[in-house]
Amino acid sequence: MELSGDAYLWIKGLHVISVIAWMAGLLYLPRLYVYHVDAEPGSDKSETFKIMERRLMRGILNPSMMASVIFGLIMAYDSSPAIWQAGWFHAKLTAVIAMLVMHVFCGKWRRAFAEDRNTHSGRFYRIMNEVPAVLMVVIVLMVIVQPF
């Protein structure tokens, strides 16, 4: 498959937009968990957090993650075969897989909160809140700098 120049740019633009939305959600959801930890299970505050977390996951995180992966795969498929041999591309893919794992864990933690069975501390979620940012830095630097 070979996309025309215009088609490739549209796919690339949609990929960037979906990645920005996905990152926004991955940076915000663990922060909600930090505050949710302090809410008494069953309280109005806790129930409000549950609604916010569910809407963020279903309305923003899941669709933007799927769009990011689909548009990224289209661009990778359209790229020259040499890209699959590049070290920077392997590093980027590894970081993207780690981001997908983080997404899955965010969903697992959301379900635990929804069922009032969270076992993690606010400190744990503060640390987890940094993971997407670190992965984002790695991904962006690999794509822009292509150091190896």
Residue type, position 95, single letter: A
Give the pair of three-digit tokens for residue 105. 């864990």
Q: What is the structure's pLDDT at 1? A: 63
Q: Give the whole-angstrom CA distance, residue 25 versus residue 132.
A: 10
Give the pair of three-digit tokens for residue 106. 């965010």
Give the pair of three-digit tokens for residue 9. 């740019």
Residue 21 confidence (pLDDT) above 80: yes
Residue 101 confidence (pLDDT) above 90: yes
pTM for the whole thing? 0.93
Q: What is the structure's pLDDT at 115? A: 97
Angstrom CA distances, 109 to 1, 32, 38, 105, stand at: 39, 11, 15, 6
